[in-house]
Amino acid sequence: MEAMIFCAGLGTRMQPITDHKPKALVKVNGVTLLERNILKMISHGITKIIINVHHYPDLIIDFLKQKNFDCEIIISDERNELLDTGGGLMKAKKYFSLKDNILLHNVDILSDLDFNLLEQYHNSLNTSIATLAVRNRETKRYLLFNEENILVGWKNIATKEEKIKRVSSKQIPFAFSGIQIVSKDIFNLNSLNGKFSLTDMYLSLVEENNIYSYCHNEGKWIDVGNPLLIKKAEEMFEK
Protein backbone atom coordinates (compact mmCIF):
# COMPACT_ATOMS: atom_id res chain seq x y z
CA MET A 1 0.00 0.00 0.00
CA GLU A 2 1.17 3.50 -0.86
CA ALA A 3 -0.06 6.71 0.76
CA MET A 4 -0.78 10.39 0.31
CA ILE A 5 -1.02 13.01 3.04
CA PHE A 6 -3.03 16.11 2.18
CA CYS A 7 -0.97 19.08 3.39
CA ALA A 8 -1.81 21.78 0.85
CA GLY A 9 -4.71 23.45 2.68
CA LEU A 10 -4.54 27.03 3.93
CA GLY A 11 -5.34 26.02 7.51
CA THR A 12 -7.80 28.89 7.99
CA ARG A 13 -9.45 27.18 10.98
CA MET A 14 -6.06 27.03 12.66
CA GLN A 15 -5.39 30.76 12.43
CA PRO A 16 -3.54 32.68 13.80
CA ILE A 17 -1.05 29.79 14.14
CA THR A 18 -1.10 29.18 10.40
CA ASP A 19 -0.50 32.82 9.52
CA HIS A 20 3.21 32.04 9.44
CA LYS A 21 3.43 28.28 8.90
CA PRO A 22 1.44 25.41 7.37
CA LYS A 23 -0.99 23.35 9.40
CA ALA A 24 1.17 20.29 8.76
CA LEU A 25 3.85 21.74 11.05
CA VAL A 26 1.56 22.48 13.99
CA LYS A 27 2.87 20.51 16.97
CA VAL A 28 1.08 18.18 19.37
CA ASN A 29 3.26 17.46 22.41
CA GLY A 30 6.29 18.75 20.52
CA VAL A 31 5.77 16.58 17.42
CA THR A 32 4.28 17.97 14.21
CA LEU A 33 1.06 16.60 12.77
CA LEU A 34 2.97 15.69 9.62
CA GLU A 35 5.65 13.71 11.46
CA ARG A 36 3.08 11.86 13.55
CA ASN A 37 1.24 10.69 10.46
CA ILE A 38 4.39 9.78 8.54
CA LEU A 39 5.72 7.69 11.43
CA LYS A 40 2.38 5.94 11.83
CA MET A 41 2.33 5.07 8.14
CA ILE A 42 5.88 3.72 8.30
CA SER A 43 4.89 1.57 11.31
CA HIS A 44 2.16 0.04 9.11
CA GLY A 45 4.65 -0.95 6.43
CA ILE A 46 4.09 1.94 4.01
CA THR A 47 7.28 2.77 2.11
CA LYS A 48 6.11 5.50 -0.30
CA ILE A 49 4.27 8.66 0.76
CA ILE A 50 3.16 11.52 -1.48
CA ILE A 51 2.72 14.91 0.20
CA ASN A 52 1.01 17.80 -1.55
CA VAL A 53 2.01 21.36 -0.64
CA HIS A 54 0.72 24.89 -1.25
CA HIS A 55 0.65 27.02 1.91
CA TYR A 56 4.27 27.72 3.01
CA PRO A 57 5.50 24.81 0.87
CA ASP A 58 9.21 25.47 1.46
CA LEU A 59 8.80 25.07 5.22
CA ILE A 60 7.36 21.59 4.70
CA ILE A 61 10.05 20.65 2.18
CA ASP A 62 12.84 21.86 4.49
CA PHE A 63 11.30 20.00 7.42
CA LEU A 64 11.24 16.74 5.46
CA LYS A 65 14.87 17.16 4.40
CA GLN A 66 15.93 17.60 8.02
CA LYS A 67 14.06 14.53 9.24
CA ASN A 68 15.27 11.95 6.70
CA PHE A 69 12.39 9.53 7.30
CA ASP A 70 12.87 5.84 6.52
CA CYS A 71 10.60 5.83 3.47
CA GLU A 72 10.34 7.39 0.03
CA ILE A 73 8.68 10.80 0.24
CA ILE A 74 7.63 12.68 -2.90
CA ILE A 75 6.34 16.25 -3.01
CA SER A 76 3.37 17.07 -5.24
CA ASP A 77 3.72 20.82 -5.73
CA GLU A 78 0.49 22.80 -5.82
CA ARG A 79 1.94 26.21 -5.01
CA ASN A 80 0.58 27.63 -8.31
CA GLU A 81 -2.96 26.38 -7.73
CA LEU A 82 -4.67 24.81 -4.73
CA LEU A 83 -6.56 21.82 -6.12
CA ASP A 84 -8.55 20.51 -3.12
CA THR A 85 -8.39 16.81 -2.23
CA GLY A 86 -9.74 15.32 -5.45
CA GLY A 87 -7.74 17.54 -7.75
CA GLY A 88 -4.70 17.02 -5.57
CA LEU A 89 -4.98 13.26 -5.86
CA MET A 90 -5.32 13.43 -9.65
CA LYS A 91 -2.30 15.73 -9.95
CA ALA A 92 -0.26 13.25 -7.91
CA LYS A 93 -1.23 10.27 -10.10
CA LYS A 94 2.16 10.20 -11.83
CA TYR A 95 3.92 9.50 -8.53
CA PHE A 96 2.04 6.30 -7.68
CA SER A 97 3.03 2.88 -8.99
CA LEU A 98 -0.65 2.17 -9.78
CA LYS A 99 -0.09 -1.38 -8.59
CA ASP A 100 -1.33 -1.02 -5.01
CA ASN A 101 -4.12 0.50 -2.99
CA ILE A 102 -3.58 4.09 -1.86
CA LEU A 103 -4.16 5.32 1.68
CA LEU A 104 -5.33 8.96 1.71
CA HIS A 105 -5.00 10.90 4.96
CA ASN A 106 -5.74 14.48 6.01
CA VAL A 107 -2.73 15.89 7.85
CA ASP A 108 -4.82 17.36 10.68
CA ILE A 109 -6.28 13.97 11.63
CA LEU A 110 -4.75 11.91 14.45
CA SER A 111 -6.06 8.45 15.31
CA ASP A 112 -5.13 4.95 16.41
CA LEU A 113 -6.94 3.45 13.41
CA ASP A 114 -5.15 0.36 12.09
CA PHE A 115 -4.40 1.06 8.42
CA ASN A 116 -3.72 -2.60 7.69
CA LEU A 117 -7.13 -3.65 9.01
CA LEU A 118 -8.71 -0.91 6.91
CA GLU A 119 -6.96 -2.24 3.81
CA GLN A 120 -7.94 -5.83 4.60
CA TYR A 121 -11.57 -4.74 4.86
CA HIS A 122 -11.28 -2.79 1.59
CA ASN A 123 -9.82 -5.81 -0.20
CA SER A 124 -12.50 -8.13 1.19
CA LEU A 125 -15.21 -6.08 -0.51
CA ASN A 126 -13.83 -6.83 -3.99
CA THR A 127 -16.05 -4.27 -5.75
CA SER A 128 -15.07 -1.22 -3.67
CA ILE A 129 -13.27 1.57 -5.54
CA ALA A 130 -12.92 3.44 -2.25
CA THR A 131 -13.45 2.66 1.43
CA LEU A 132 -14.03 5.61 3.76
CA ALA A 133 -13.35 5.56 7.48
CA VAL A 134 -16.38 7.02 9.31
CA ARG A 135 -17.65 7.51 12.85
CA ASN A 136 -20.88 8.22 14.67
CA ARG A 137 -20.23 11.80 15.73
CA GLU A 138 -21.83 15.21 15.38
CA THR A 139 -20.87 17.31 12.37
CA LYS A 140 -22.48 19.65 9.87
CA ARG A 141 -21.83 17.46 6.84
CA TYR A 142 -22.68 13.78 6.65
CA LEU A 143 -22.05 11.02 4.15
CA LEU A 144 -25.13 8.85 3.62
CA PHE A 145 -24.91 5.08 3.27
CA ASN A 146 -27.44 2.32 2.63
CA GLU A 147 -27.87 -0.84 4.70
CA GLU A 148 -25.05 -2.51 2.76
CA ASN A 149 -22.64 0.26 3.81
CA ILE A 150 -22.52 1.66 0.26
CA LEU A 151 -22.40 5.43 -0.26
CA VAL A 152 -25.64 6.86 -1.66
CA GLY A 153 -25.37 10.59 -0.96
CA TRP A 154 -24.38 13.56 1.17
CA LYS A 155 -26.12 16.20 3.24
CA ASN A 156 -25.34 19.43 5.09
CA ILE A 157 -27.61 19.77 8.09
CA ALA A 158 -26.71 23.46 8.52
CA THR A 159 -27.73 24.54 5.01
CA LYS A 160 -30.24 21.70 4.44
CA GLU A 161 -28.47 20.92 1.16
CA GLU A 162 -28.74 17.26 0.17
CA LYS A 163 -27.37 15.23 -2.72
CA ILE A 164 -28.82 11.75 -3.20
CA LYS A 165 -27.10 9.91 -6.03
CA ARG A 166 -28.29 6.34 -5.56
CA VAL A 167 -31.75 4.98 -4.84
CA SER A 168 -31.96 3.57 -1.33
CA SER A 169 -34.73 2.72 1.11
CA LYS A 170 -32.51 3.89 3.94
CA GLN A 171 -29.94 6.67 4.25
CA ILE A 172 -27.67 6.17 7.25
CA PRO A 173 -25.57 9.24 8.16
CA PHE A 174 -21.93 8.97 9.19
CA ALA A 175 -19.25 11.59 9.72
CA PHE A 176 -16.17 11.16 7.54
CA SER A 177 -12.92 10.62 9.48
CA GLY A 178 -10.48 12.08 6.94
CA ILE A 179 -8.91 8.66 6.29
CA GLN A 180 -9.67 6.44 3.30
CA ILE A 181 -8.32 3.86 0.91
CA VAL A 182 -8.82 4.11 -2.84
CA SER A 183 -8.17 1.47 -5.47
CA LYS A 184 -5.87 2.25 -8.39
CA ASP A 185 -8.92 2.05 -10.69
CA ILE A 186 -10.14 5.38 -9.32
CA PHE A 187 -7.87 7.22 -11.75
CA ASN A 188 -9.53 5.59 -14.77
CA LEU A 189 -13.06 6.24 -13.54
CA ASN A 190 -12.83 9.91 -12.60
CA SER A 191 -13.95 12.46 -15.21
CA LEU A 192 -13.59 15.64 -13.13
CA ASN A 193 -10.79 18.10 -13.83
CA GLY A 194 -9.07 20.99 -12.06
CA LYS A 195 -10.04 21.82 -8.48
CA PHE A 196 -12.56 19.50 -6.84
CA SER A 197 -13.03 17.55 -3.61
CA LEU A 198 -12.95 13.80 -3.19
CA THR A 199 -16.57 14.02 -2.02
CA ASP A 200 -17.53 15.60 -5.35
CA MET A 201 -15.68 12.82 -7.16
CA TYR A 202 -17.35 10.06 -5.15
CA LEU A 203 -20.80 11.52 -5.71
CA SER A 204 -20.10 11.62 -9.44
CA LEU A 205 -19.12 7.93 -9.41
CA VAL A 206 -21.45 6.34 -6.90
CA GLU A 207 -24.37 5.65 -9.25
CA GLU A 208 -22.34 3.00 -11.08
CA ASN A 209 -19.59 2.18 -8.57
CA ASN A 210 -19.45 0.99 -4.98
CA ILE A 211 -17.90 3.17 -2.30
CA TYR A 212 -18.09 1.65 1.18
CA SER A 213 -17.93 2.86 4.76
CA TYR A 214 -15.61 1.50 7.44
CA CYS A 215 -17.03 2.42 10.83
CA HIS A 216 -14.50 2.81 13.65
CA ASN A 217 -16.39 4.17 16.62
CA GLU A 218 -13.95 2.64 19.08
CA GLY A 219 -10.46 4.00 19.70
CA LYS A 220 -8.83 7.40 19.49
CA TRP A 221 -9.60 9.95 16.79
CA ILE A 222 -9.43 13.73 16.57
CA ASP A 223 -9.53 16.42 13.91
CA VAL A 224 -6.97 18.98 15.11
CA GLY A 225 -8.76 21.64 13.14
CA ASN A 226 -8.36 24.68 15.37
CA PRO A 227 -6.05 25.91 18.17
CA LEU A 228 -8.53 24.95 20.90
CA LEU A 229 -8.23 21.28 19.94
CA ILE A 230 -4.44 21.09 20.29
CA LYS A 231 -4.66 20.61 24.06
CA LYS A 232 -7.29 17.89 23.66
CA ALA A 233 -5.06 16.15 21.12
CA GLU A 234 -2.13 16.37 23.54
CA GLU A 235 -4.20 14.61 26.19
CA MET A 236 -5.04 11.83 23.73
CA PHE A 237 -1.65 11.35 22.05
CA GLU A 238 1.65 11.28 23.91
CA LYS A 239 5.03 12.34 22.53
pLDDT tens-digit series, residues 82-106 = 999 999 999 999 999 999 999 999 9
Model pLDDT, residue 76: 98
Question: Averaged over 190-206, what is the pLDDT?
Answer: 96
Model pLDDT, residue 90: 98
Asked if 87 and 191 count as a contact pair (C-beta separation under 8 A), the reply is no
Model pLDDT, residue 140: 95
Which numeric CATH code is attached to 2-236?
Answer: 3.90.550.10
Among residues of the chain, what percentage have pLDDT more than 70? 100
Where do the domains of the chain lie?
Answer: 2-236
| 233 three-state secondary structure | helix
97-102's contacts with Cβ under 8 Å and 24+ in sequence apart are 97/2, 97/48, 98/184, 98/187, 99/184, 100/1, 100/2, 100/184, 101/1, 101/2, 101/181, 101/182, 101/183, 101/184, 102/1, 102/2, 102/3, 102/4, 102/181, 102/182, 102/183, 102/184
- Look at residue 239 and tell me whether its pLDDT is greater than 80: no
- Look at residue 149 and tell me whether its pLDDT is greater than 80: yes
Query: What is the Cα–Cα distance from 98 to 158, expressed in whole angstroms?
Result: 38
- Look at residue 1 and tell me whether its pLDDT is greater than 90: yes
Alpha helices in the chain (DSSP H): 33-43, 57-67, 84-91, 115-125, 186-189, 198-205, 228-236
Asked if 171 and 164 count as a contact pair (C-beta separation under 8 A), the reply is yes
Query: What is the Cα–Cα distance from 123 to 129, expressed in whole angstroms?
Result: 10
- Look at residue 17 and tell me whether its pLDDT is greater than 80: yes
Model pLDDT, residue 238: 83
User: How does pLDDT run across 29-86, given as a tens digit for each residue?
Assistant: 999 999 999 999 999 999 999 999 999 999 999 999 999 899 999 999 999 999 999 9
Model pLDDT, residue 120: 97
Q: Model confidence at 150, in pLDDT bands (50, 70, 90)?
A: very high
pTM of the model: 0.96
Model pLDDT, residue 169: 87
Query: What is the Cα–Cα distance from 77 to 54, expressed in whole angstroms?
Result: 7
Mean pLDDT of the chain: 96
- Look at residue 176 and tell me whether its pLDDT is greater than 90: yes
- Whether omega for the bond prior to residue 16 falls within 30 degrees of 0, making it cis, is yes
